[in-house]
Amino acid sequence: MLGWIGRGLRKGRITTRYPRREEPAPVAYRGTVDVLDATDTPAELAALCPTGAIMIDEQRRLTLDRGRCILCGECVRAAPERLRFNSRYQTAARPRSALVVADQVDPAGGEPTHAALGDLARGLRRSIHVRHIDCGSDGSEEWEIQALWNPYYDIQRLGFFLTAAPRHADVLLVTGGVTAPMRGPLERTWQVMPEPKALVAVGTDACSGGLSAGGGLVAGGVDAILPVDVYVPGSPPAPIAIMHGLLLAVGLIRGVEVAA
């Protein structure tokens, strides 16, 4: 046992400073896709996208739905002058329309969802209880949520605790595009959570169904069933992105600003 103590202490501090300071991502990290130039888009570009995240209107203006994007990079490779990967971690946003972007200002972030929950969070000195439910993810989102409680991210320092009982939960993290057998359990879980409460859709599948949509076996996003407060797109989103979504959901930060 003593060995473990020495082992634990020797490592020193490795926890991220986020949200006080930005957490740098590896240069090559594919966090999100930015639109550089939305004008005069060739129609073929929309057909390249496996999830239909790229839309082109009659004026040939391009819009990108980050809630559908799986970050495969087909479009970036085909038209690097129009679209580019951004290594930024903070990709959470609300409302859903904020995920649909053109070449204007970066709309990630948005106003805090639940003023009431934010007040409550401050009143409770940030004791927020989080519950997770899997409604048909590919399994990677669960790993990234679990990672929030590892020493690198340690979300407990911000006052987020994992709870086993939905009746004790303030925030529900939902992964997956909602399969038929999970619809009932999802609705029941949400129903028994006390007010005020917030729902965060984690991952592209939870935002829109992603690649699993289209076969009629998944609802195509959590918002087809319950109102979603914050969307965290990504396939899967990194732990910092999920943390960003949680902080947005309870109103502890606004937008992508870095401050606690």
Binding site for another protein (CB under 8 A): 1, 3-5, 7-8, 11, 14, 25-30, 50, 70-74, 85, 132-147, 150-152, 162, 164-166, 173, 176-177, 179, 181-182, 184-185, 189, 205, 210-212, 214-218, 235-236, 238
Nearer to another protein, 147 or 225 (CB): 147
d(CA 86, CA 62): 18
- Smallest distance, another protein to C-beta of residue 8, A: 4
Under a CB-based contact definition with an 8 Å cutoff, are residues 193 and 132 in contact?
no
CB of 115 to another protein, least distance (A): 28
User: Nearer to another protein by C-beta: 98 or 249?
Assistant: 249
- Of the pair 115, 180, the CB lying nearest another protein is at 180
Q: String of b and e for 92-101 (b: at least 16 CB within 10 Å)?
A: bbbebebbbb
Compute the least distance from the CB of residue 177 to another protein, in Å. 7
Within a 10 A sphere around the Cβ of 13, how many other Cβ atoms? 6
- How far apart CA 217 and CA 177 sit, in angstroms, is 9
Residue 116: phi and psi, rounded to 5, are -60, -45
CB closer to another protein out of 60 and 167: 167
